[in-house]
C-alpha cells in the first residue's frame, strides 16, 4: 500500500492550520500511519532538501524550515503520493487553485505551509529520514471497506 510523507511547515503550525490539514487527508479517505511535532535540525533539513542544494534560495529554505516546529505525517492509501500533491496545490501559491491547501491558505512560495513527497521513491526516502520504523503504526481502518 502506497505511502506519502506530508509535513505542515513552521508557518502552517504557527497559523494553526494543522487540524485543517489533517482533516482534509482523513476526509479524503487516507489512513494516518505516523504523526509527530518536531523541531527539525538544519542537518536533517539539508538532507531532506538535498536535491535543491544548488538553488539560490536553499539557505533561506533551511532557515524557514528550522524556524519552528513542523508536524510530520505519513499517510497511506491508493495513489496517495499523486493525490496528496494535488491536494497541496502548486509550489507557488499564486499558481495554486482554490480548494488546495496552498490555494486556500497562503500567498508566497517561501511560506507555502505544507510539503508533500513528489514521487513514491522520494516518499520512501523521506519517511525513513524522518521516522523510525516503530513510529509507524500498522492498523486496520474500520471504514476501509467503504472507501475501497
Ligand atoms: P515541497 O513540497 O516543500 O518539496 O515543495 P515542492 O515540491 O512544491 O517544491 P520544491 O521541492 O521545488 O521546493 C521545495 C520548497 O522550496 C518549496 O515548497 C518552497 O518552500 C521553496 N521554494 C521553491 N522554489 C522557491 C523559490 O523560487 N523561492 C523561494 N524563496 N523558495 C522556493
Ligand atoms: Mg519538493
Query: Ligand 1: residues within 6 Å at CB?
Result: 52, 57, 60-61, 91, 109-110, 112, 115-116, 118
Protein residues with C-beta less than 5 angstroms from the ion ligand 2: 118
Q: What is the pLDDT of residues 60-85, one digit of tens each?
A: 999 999 999 999 999 999 999 999 99
Q: Atom 12 in ligand 1: which residue has the minimum CA distance?
A: 91
User: Tens digit of pLDDT for each residue in 7-62?
Assistant: 999 999 999 999 999 999 999 999 999 999 999 999 999 999 999 999 999 999 99
- What is residue 113's predicted lDDT score, i.e. its pLDDT? 98
Reply yes or no on whether 115 is catalytic: yes
Q: What pLDDT sits at residue 48?
A: 98
> What is the Å distance from ligand 2's center to 85 Cα?
10
For 106-143, b/e burial (b = at least 16 CB within 10 A) is beeeebbbbbbbbeeebbbebbeebbeeeeeeeeeeee
ipTM for this prediction: 0.96
Q: What is the pTM of this model?
A: 0.97
CA distances to 5, 40, 67, 115 from 81, rounded to whole Å, are 8, 22, 26, 11
Instruction: Say how many C-beta atoms besides its own lie within 10 A of residue 20's C-beta.
Output: 14
Q: Of the listed 3, 9, 48, 115, which one is catalytic?
A: 115
CA 145–ligand 2 middle distance (angstroms) = 32
Amino acid at each position: 500500500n502506497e505511502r506519502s510523507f506530508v509535513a505542515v511547515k513552521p508557518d502552517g503550525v504557527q497559523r494553526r492550520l494543522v487540524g485543517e490539514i489533517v482533516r482534509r487527508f482523513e476526509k479524503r479517505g487516507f489512513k494516518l500511519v505516523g504523526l509527530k511535532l518536531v523541531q527539525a535540525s538544519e542537518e536533517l533539513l539539508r538532507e531532506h532538501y538535498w536535491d535543491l542544494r544548488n538553488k539560490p534560495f536553499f539557505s533561506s529554505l533551511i532557515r524557514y524550515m528550522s524556524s519552528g516546529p513542523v508536524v510530520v505525517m505519513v499517510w497511506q492509501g491508493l495513489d496517495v503520493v499523486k493525490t496528496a500533491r494535488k491536494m497541496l496545490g502548486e509550489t507557488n501559491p499564486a499558481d495554486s487553485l482554490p480548494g488546495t491547501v496552498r490555494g486556500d491558505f497562503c500567498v508566497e512560495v517561501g511560506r507555502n505551509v505544507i510539503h508533500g513527497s513528489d514521487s513514491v521513491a522520494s516518499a520512501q526516502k523521506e519517511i525513513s529520514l524522518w521516522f523510525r520504523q516503530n513510529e509507524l503504526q500498522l492498523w486496520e481502518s474500520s471504514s476501509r471497506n467503504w472507501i475501497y
